[in-house]
Each structure stands twice: as C-alpha cells, then as structure tokens.
Amino acid sequence: MTPMGKIYGRTTADFAAEAIALALEDAGLEKSDIDGLLLNGNGNLDMDPRLQWALGFEDLSLMSSMRAYGSSVGTMVQYASLALEAGLANYVVLVYGDTPLKPAVGAGAAYAARGVWDGMNVLKAAYGEFGGNVPYALAARRHMDLFGTTSEQLGAIAVAQREWALMNPLAQMNKPMTLADHQASRLVAEPFHLFDCCLVSNGAVAVIMTTAERAKDLRQPPVHLKAATQAAPGDNQRAGREPGIVTGAKQAGEQAFALAGITRDDVDILQLYDCYTYTVLVTLEDYGFCAKGEGGAFVEDGKLGPGGSLPTNTGGGQLSGYYMWGFTPLSETVMQVRGQAGERQVAKNDIVLSSGNGGVLNFHSTTIWSKHAD
C-alpha cells in the first residue's frame, strides 16, 4: 500500500501503479506473472478498465472494474478465488485507489459535489441529503430509539480504534482521543460527531491472490482464504423491514461462518468496515457477537481496543487509520495474519474476519482468513 492521506498532485492511476509495484515486490513476483486484474475505486474514473493500459498489463485472462460500493473488496476476493480455483488465472491483483482530497477542499465537499441528481435523487439535493452522513445517521438514530444506544457507546468504538491507530505508523490520526474528546468534537449529522465519521484519504492498496500451492514459493507467509460471501438485501422502502437495523452482514456472516466451518468464537481478530462508528456496532450485532440491540453495551467496556477480548480494527480502521473502503480492513487483515503488525500485533492471530459494506448498510461482504492451510 502507498502512503495515505493528504498527498496532493498525484493521480489515482499513479497511486494504483505504486501499490501494485509494492505488492509485487512484497510477494516476490514480476509484473509479467500477473494474469488477473480487478479494480475498484470510489466512483473514480481512474479505476476504469482502461487502467490496465495505463499500467501496461498485457495478456490478462481476468480483468474487470468492480462496483459494489464499500463491499466491493469481498466480491473481488470472492471472484478472484473462484477464478483461481477454476484455473482461469494464476495471480490476480486486486487494487483500490482514490484521490478525493484536493488542496483546500474539505472531505464532505469533495464527495458531496460528486452527486448526479436524476429521477428522485433530486430530492436529496433539495432536502440536503449529501453523501453518506445523513443516511447512516438516520440508521443510528433509529437504533438509539429502539434500543437506547448512546452517543457515548458509539464513542467507545472511536476511542478504541484511535488507541490502535496510535500504534500504526500508516495511520493518519496520531493524537490520543478520549471519550470526552469524542463528545466534544463538532456535530456533523446527529447523532454523529466528527469522530464518529471516517477519514478521507488519497492513496491505493493492492493485494495479490494466488493458489495455496503457488503461494508456497512466494516471499511472504500465506494468508489462507476460508470463506468469501456477499449479501445484498435491498430496500424496497416498505414498512416492516428495518434495513438500517438488520444489515447484509447477517446473511453474509451466517454463510461465511458455515463455509469456513467455524463459529464466531473461533475468530481472533475482527476487521470491520467502519465508515461510521455505528457501522461497526450494527455489524457486530448482525454477525452475532452480541444480540440485536445490545451492541452499545457490548462495546462500551473497551473490549474492541488494545488488550480487549475482541481486538477490532487493529490498524485504527477508516475512522483513525486510512479510508480505502474495504481495502482498509483487508490490508490490516493481511498484516495481522502474517504477524507483521509491529507494536499492534495481536498475539493470537489464527483467524481474522474482514468485512465490507456499502450502499448504506446494504451491500455487504464477509471474508474469513487464516494463517493455517487447514
């Protein structure tokens, strides 16, 4: 992965090329070994299929720009694994790149200005529903009303992740944060304070997937994929369903645990997609780490932080680390399973679960990884 954050004057393609070069070096592979390329970006035109040409890859047998919003990472892993198993490709590069930050443009403005207001979407502009803050805030507020969840409980997630970030040299946020700091941070869209919201980053991450047999000859310890599932529950905006309360994580999680042949008790480390603190809370519930509605009480004792019983988002996540969509949890997953996370390395790292989420708690992907082949 490239450096992350307020790095200006470089294109997304430039970042993507650097991330791929770093991944090749890390794995001990040559560009000519690569025969699969899967691309993902946050609506960024640079992550178009034509990026292949800009990167100079030739004779690929698997190539696509993939879009399932923040869940794309798991769908890319899933498709790559199926292609590898079927013998359709040998070495597949998955890459995410984005450059939303420009000098003197705030993050909210950087994304808000991207909207296309067709059909009923014109209502979003007319009412002032820009970007993800409002729809996620509406889901969080609903959860609070149903279950008594508090802003302080959401804050406990942000504080735990900041503690992790302080041990991550790649993280953008490197100052300590207390619960009081969280509560004092400015309101963005109630119930969210600024510190309930993810960062925005310029940068790119690349991950190379291959078969277990081929991985034996590579430079790094293998990270074995045990399950890759996705769920897209949809939302017909009809009464009787609560799409912000029960998310795609429920279905994708149940399927992933079954495919991997494990239970949630076997999971040592969680890397959960965290566009907002609430996303972590609702995902924990939907994966069954606590009962529906009990997420607030579950997280408030700090069990997600360093030294806690359920290490979660150990690189600081997207709240305090870097915002590379699902490649933030996936990149930290790889480092933890390999035992290369430095000061923040979790001692028991046999099984790591990584999630992706997008379309406002709708598109979801779950991947389960192990340091053991069996």
Partner 1 sequence: MPTESSGLDLAYDASSAPFFEGAAQGRLVLQRCGACETWMWPVKYRCVHCFAADVEWRPASGRATLYSLSVVHQQYPGFPHPYVIATVETDEGVRFNTTLVGDDVENMAIGSALMAEFDADEQPFTLPRFRRIP
Active site residues: 273, 323
Structure tokens at 63: 């190539």
Within 89-108, which residues bind partner 1 (CB under 8 A)?
108
Backbone φ and ψ of 41, nearest 5°: -150, 165
Among 129, 152, 254, 350, binds partner 1 (CB under 8 A): 129
Q: Which helix (H) or strand (E) holds 285?
A: helix 277-286
Residue type, 82: L
Residue closer to partner 1 by CB (options 47, 189) is: 189
Within 226-265, which residues bind partner 1 (CB under 8 A)?
236-240, 244
Stretch that binds partner 1, among 125-133, 271-279, 319-327, 329-337 (CB under 8 A): 125-133
Structure tokens at 308: 């806690």
Q: Long-range contacts: 172-181, Cβ < 8 Å, 24+?
A: 172/4, 172/5, 172/199, 172/201, 172/320, 172/321, 172/322, 173/199, 173/316, 173/319, 173/320, 173/321, 177/320, 179/152, 179/155
Residue closer to partner 1 by CB (options 125, 373) is: 125
Stretch that binds partner 1, among 28-36, 116-124, 162-170, 218-226 (CB under 8 A): 116-124
Nearest approach, Cβ of 248 to partner 1 (angstroms)? 18
Nearest approach, Cβ of 236 to partner 1 (angstroms)? 4
Structure tokens at 37: 């390329």
Among 126, 175, 343, 348, binds partner 1 (CB under 8 A): 126
Nearest approach, Cβ of 25 to partner 1 (angstroms)? 41
Residue closer to partner 1 by CB (options 155, 316) is: 155
State CA 199 to chain mean position distance. 12
Task: Name, in order, each residue with C-beta under 8 angstroms of 86's C-beta and a sequence gap of 6 or more.
Answer: none
Residue 123 touching partner 1 (CB under 8 A): yes
Residue closer to partner 1 by CB (options 10, 142) is: 142
Residue closer to partner 1 by CB (options 191, 305) is: 191
Nearest approach, Cβ of 19 to partner 1 (angstroms)? 31
Residue 176 Cα distances to 49, 160, 166, 271, angstroms? 41, 10, 7, 21
Coil/strand/helix, residue 286: helix
Residue closer to partner 1 by CB (options 137, 215) is: 137
Q: Site size for partner 1, by CB under 8 A?
A: 36
What is the rounded radius of gyration, in angstroms, for the C-alpha atoms of the chain? Answer: 19
Within 168-207, which residues bind partner 1 (CB under 8 A)?
186-191
C-alpha 197/C-alpha 145 separation (Å) is 20
Nearest approach, Cβ of 192 to partner 1 (angstroms)? 8
C-alpha 360/C-alpha 133 separation (Å) is 10
Stretch that binds partner 1, among 26-34, 111-119, 175-183, 319-327 (CB under 8 A): 111-119
Among 20, 73, 95, 137, binds partner 1 (CB under 8 A): 137
Residue 218 Cα distances to 61, 87, 93, 207, angstroms? 21, 19, 15, 14
Within 140-159, which residues bind partner 1 (CB under 8 A)?
141-142, 145
Stretch that binds partner 1, among 124-132, 153-161, 167-175, 319-327 (CB under 8 A): 124-132
Closest CA to 278 of 69, 137, 131, 72: 137
Among 86, 104, 116, 120, binds partner 1 (CB under 8 A): 120
Stretch that binds partner 1, among 34-42, 113-121, 210-218, 289-297 (CB under 8 A): 113-121
Residue type, 188: V
Assess contact for 149 and 281: CB atoms under 8 A. yes
Nearest approach, Cβ of 141 to partner 1 (angstroms)? 5
The conformation of residue 351, written as its DSSP 8-state character, comes to: E
C-alpha 309/C-alpha 214 separation (Å) is 35
Nearest approach, Cβ of 323 to partner 1 (angstroms)? 18
Binding residues (CB under 8 A) for partner 1: these are 108, 112, 117-120, 122-130, 133-135, 137-139, 141-142, 145, 186-191, 236-240, 244
